[in-house]
Structure 1
Amino acid sequence: MKFVNKMLLLGMLSVGLFACSDDKEDNTKSNTINGETGEANDVFTKAEWYPGGELGTTSNEQGCYSNPSPYVENNGMYMNFKKGETFFENDYTLNTFPRRGLGPAWIRPGCLYCHPSYGHGKRQTTYNADMQGNGYLLVVYHPTAGTTSQGVSYAANSYITEVTGMPQTRAMSPFLPPIDESGIHIQWLNATDEHNNTFPDGETYSLIYPEVTIDESAFNTNPKPENYEVRLESTIGVYGSALLDAISDDSLKDQYAKEAPYVSLNPAMWDKTSNDWAPSAWYTLADGAKRIKKFTYALTRGSLQDGPGANAIWNITNVTRSDRHYLYSTKAWAKAMSEEESVISTIQNSGSAKTSLLHPYYADGSKDSISYMVNKLLGLNTKADADEYAKHFVSNGQEEMSDADYYDFMVWHRGLAVPMARDLNKKQVQKGKQLFAEMGCATCHRPSWETGNDDYWKDAVVKGQGELPTYAHQTIWPYTDMIQHKLHMINDIRTGWCRTTPLWGRGLSEQETGASDRLHDCRARNVIEAIMWHGYSSESDAYTASQKFYNLSKEDRDAVVAFIDAI
């Protein structure tokens, strides 16, 4: 049976799943938002007004991506939440408490650059780390397997090792950034699909995609990378992440097993032969505990406490803490900086004073000793290097980020609510929901989940500080199956596998961030473009659903868009 026919079967299955997922919802409660009453109607249950469940939904529409959840407000965590919020909303500095420690190289000086108003990043035409809304992370990888001129072998689609997996483009003086931004080039190109970008009724749409290159000379590393290509991946909204973390591994396994007979799943996640998890689907946490990978487009993280937030607050800014006394850096960058004459001379002239940020690199002041220390200290980038890093950079027991501050940050991150749904009383939105199911979109954008016990992983720092917000046994409506699929787009995401992005709250993006850009690299500027990119290739896992949308009337297309914007 051809793959597209399998997707037809999935589409039929999803209609039933979409409808029956509401059966056990309590329809007795109501709420009001912008004059609308959040009650059940013929199409939506009362629960669907609360995408994050009763513990994780905010009814305040303004600034809604940044609101605390009811759990936070009802459990005495509001002040911790507000303190944690300051670490997200303010820039980090080189040497000013409480947000000191930026560098020696960094990706962004603060979180809001990537997550404007806590939402999805915005499409960029040039790469500037200090541009508000630039949520792009550079993905620099080897498109094919090979061996470097130094004799190091690498696999196809593997990240280059000369720069960090999320490459840095800024550094403290006198160090040069691992990648010079002037050598990064983004060009937006037009694409034409099999329909000539025109619906049957004559309405047209546009499709664009990025072509990204980085000059070899832009890499301030030794050695410089070989055989590499570049892709862009933009951040998604951070709200509701803890609700996704509360989905149990058993529930995830059930979803994989349901989809496995109909679609090809990433073999790194699912073993088709055994009909069970692949060994590489498990993520091993710091204490040896294991979780199924569920975060990031590439499914690289298995817990929020060692995932998008906890990891980013360290590697984006390079701000260390008690459980991460090592840098986010590479040996190739450290070596290049140790050979840079301007770096050595500046440290000679400015690093002798013990109060100088350059003093740890000064040694006895000779060129050879400075070169040695720069190479050594900038290369302290593994857990094994933690004690050595602390010896040189932690003074008087003062962490760059204290345990208490990190705890507040995680209360904030786990405490972010999901916006309440809107316009569910409107006939257009109700029609859109029905069409969304009939087209098969709900197969990958699974409407609802039941969270488990939410036995969240507690890292060493959190264990010593207190409890975090929890969301056990909630019905949530993220509209994602948490599984990777392939759309086979031009200049696609690295490996082609991309986790289904949650749709909840995305309709408020224009209001909150000033842009409605969608998909992993912001190539879709609106919902229509996003849907038509899903069907650009006949090999796409969503090709059948996209073609059904293409053949809808203008009125029905608008209804689908209205529904997606409402949830």
Structure 2
Amino acid sequence: MSTSCKNDDGPDNPGNSELPEEYYAGGKLGTTTINNISTAYEQPTPAVEQNGMTLAFKIGEAFFEKGFNTNPSGVRHGLGPVYVRSSCITCHPGYGHGKRVDQYRANEFGNGYLLVVFDQDTHAFVPELTGMPQTKAVDPFLPPVDEKGIRIEWREHVDQFGNKFPDGETYSLIYPEVTIDPAYINTDPKPANYTVRLEATIGIYGTGLLDAIPDDSLIAEYNRQKALGRTLNDAKYDPANFITENDGTRHPGRYTYGLTRGTLQNGPGSNAIWNITNVTRENRRNNYITKAYATAMSKNANVQAALGKDEAAIYAELMATDLEPEMSTEDYVNFMIWHRGLAVPAARDLDDPVVQKGKKAFYSIGCTSCHKPSWTTGPDNYTGDTLVARQLPRYPYQKIWPYTDMLQHKLEMVNDIRTGWCRTTPLWGRGLSQICTGAGDHLHDMRARNYTEAIMWHGGDAAFSREKFRNLSKEDRDALVKFLESI
């Protein structure tokens, strides 16, 4: 049986045939067979459809795709007083990764960059700005960071190999240098001794399946690699540092580059629908701002005049923790059904001889040491957030193929990510990025414009595999890339 996506009987049209398990990247309950068109990342999982959640999924999808507004009432109201973006899809074009850009403009579609402003010495986020600093504000307020003061410069990098493979083929490496002019930071006090980095948004599809991996499996993978002597961020697996959820349970981190979120119900989407837009809801009734920003705005004469209020009143309103919910609980539940219900595209062309050759190379040079091919989900019965308990799609006992170990490693790159520790990004579906998002950039700040550049940026524990890749023949390197494009 041929299982190329080009054939009549394959992942796009399974018919009555049973495909090899690896084609079902998200398992039988989490894989869509719509896998070679521009909406491949946007499809509901079979679990959504089988449980009668399709309408809720579509309603929730609108809160991702449509912009929020500054109206005091109505659909998707409540944007501000400051915000990162007015819509989620601006950062996640086609529901995938953000693209590499040369200027920081929040309104530019596809710009998925978030500013990361941290202390040069401690690597902690500066307290004067939120972890995801806002660059937009609703009149009469000023943004915490005015975009006019942000500069992104892409610089060339020559590595220890002179950007050349042993067979003579060359490649290019670039990295971003980001600065913020302090004059364009509107806080009191202003941050000092800070460094700026960029982090791009990640793909949203399949996050519900990662949520269904048992905590015990994550801990077991950490212990397995630790026993092999790999360099890991041990602090993340100290139970004292596990993340406390709304229901009081504690979990190891699994989401964000920094492993700062333990479950999807307290994860990037649940968090972002509030702090990206500053739209309040029943369990988030405060603004996502800092005391330093509230202080600056409450002292601003223009703000005082426009609002007709004194400094104390403005500060109290900005820092209030009992604001009226602007997003209804029903809408939030629908949003979370959509978020947990996004399918993973089926793999493609795995029977192609070149893809098979590339898979053999990928495994043989040690890439699977960090890009663990598969996981098996557990019973997936966590209830968590009382607002959405038992209302979300579930994925029990599915074999999934995300190609990530869910752990943090160091790649030791120029202008590295904050702290140097970065979660291994899932590789499933990434070969569709160009068709789904319009860009095929890689790594945490999208510095790599193709798979080859991404691999050649790898250092740390991954330097061994990078060196093996470097010494492959061009034919084998190209085959390995084709395999990555297929999964």
Work out whether residues 38 and 49 of structure 1, in 8 Å CA contact, stay in contact via their aligned partners in 2: no
1:252: Cα distance to partner?
Answer: 0.8
Alpha carbons of structure 1 residues 189 and 544: separation in structure 2 relative to 1, 3 Å: same
Q: Which has the higher Rg, Structure 1 or Structure 2?
A: 1
Q: Note the alpha carbon deviations across 1:306-344, whole angstroms, 9 max, x for none.
A: 111100100000000011111101111111011111111
Corresponding residue for residue 220 of structure 2: 254
Match of 1:68 among 33, 40, 44: 44
Candidates 422, 426, 443, aligned match of 1:498: 422
Find the counterpart in structure 2 of residue 541 from structure 1.
Answer: 461
Q: Does 1:48 align with 2:25?
A: no
Aligned to 1:413, the other structure's residue is in SS state helix
Partners of 2:437 and 2:8 in 1: how far apart? 24
CA distance in 2, matches of 1:45, 1:437: 22
Give the aligned partner of residue 433 of structure 1. Answer: 359
1:223 equivalent to 2:176? Answer: no
Structure 1 partner of 2:446? 522
Q: 1:266: which partner in 2?
A: 233
Does 2:94 match 1:170?
Answer: no
Matches within 5 A, 1:546-565: 546-565=466-485
What's the CA shift for 1:203? Answer: 1.2
Aligned amino acid, residue 371 of structure 1: E
Q: Is the 8 A contact 2:90 2:110 kept in 1?
A: yes
Corresponding residue for residue 347 of structure 2: 421
1:412 aligns with 2:338: yes
From 351, 372, 385, give the equivalent of 1:446.
372
TM-superposed deviation, 1:213: 0.7
- Read off the aligned partner of 2:214 and give its amino acid letter: S
Q: Report how far residue 290 of structure 1 moved.
A: 1.3
Q: Distance in 2 between matches of 1:545 and 1:33?
A: 30
Separation in 1, partners of 2:423, 2:441: 17
Distance 2:298 2:81 in 1: 13
Amino acid of the residue matched to residue 42 of structure 2?
Answer: S
- State the alpha-carbon separation in 2 of the partners of residues 253 and 161 from structure 1: 31
Q: Is 1:200 equivalent to 2:176 in the alignment?
A: no
Tell me by how many angstroms 1:45 deviates. Answer: 7.6
Aligned partner of 1:91: which letter? G
Q: Please state if 1:234 is matched with 2:200.
A: yes
| Distance across 1 between alignment mates of 2:4 and 2:336 | 30
Is 1:34 the counterpart of 2:2? The answer is no
1:104 Cα shift? Answer: 0.5
Name the structure 2 match of 1:470.
394
Contact 1:283 1:292 in 2 (8 A): yes
- Structure 1: state its 5+ residue gaps: 1-28, 145-155, 271-276, 349-361, 363-369
Q: Give the counterpart of 1:91 among 46, 50, 67.
A: 67
The aligned runs of 1:119-518 (5 Å cut-off) are: 119-144=96-121, 156-261=122-227, 262-270=229-237, 277-280=238-241, 282-348=242-308, 362=309, 370-380=310-320, 385=321, 389-390=322-323, 394=324, 399-463=325-389, 467-518=391-442
Q: Which amino acid aligns with 1:491?
A: N
Q: Is the 2:77–2:279 contact (alpha carbons within 8 Å) kept by the matching residues of 1?
A: yes
1: CA distance between counterparts of 2:462 and 2:264? 28
What is the SS of the residue equivalent to 1:243? helix
When residues 255 and 36 of structure 1 are mapped into structure 2, their CA distance, relative to the original with a 3 A threshold, is farther
Which residues of structure 2 form unaligned runs of 5+? none
Identity %: 55
Distance 2:300 2:454 in 1: 46
> 2:57 — aligned with what?
81
Q: Stretches of 4+ moved more than 4 A in 1? A: 29-32, 36-40
Instruction: Specify the code of the residue in structure 2 equivalent to 1:113.
Output: T
Aligned residues: 478
Q: Matches of 1:420 and 1:340 in 2, distance apart?
A: 54
Task: Please give the root-mean-square deviation of Cα atoms over the aligned residues, in Å.
Answer: 1.7
Residues 276-319 of structure 1 deviation map (CA, whole Å, 9 limit, x = unaligned): x4421x11011211111111000001010111110010000000
Letter in 2 for 1:400: E
Secondary structure of 1:111's aligned partner: coil
Alpha-carbon deviation of 1:239? 0.3
Which string of whole-angstrom CA distances, capped at 9 and with x for unpartnered residues, describes residues 374-425 of structure 1? 1111123xxxx2xxx33xxx3xxxx310000000000000000000101111
Deviations 1:336-368 (A, max 9, x none): 0111111112223xxxxxxxxxxxxx4xxxxxx
SS state at 1:187 partner: strand
8 Å contact kept, 2:3–2:351:
no
Question: Displacement of 1:457 after TM fit?
Answer: 3.5
Q: Could you tell me the TM-score, scaled by structure 2's length?
A: 0.96
CA distance in 1, matches of 2:252, 2:2: 36
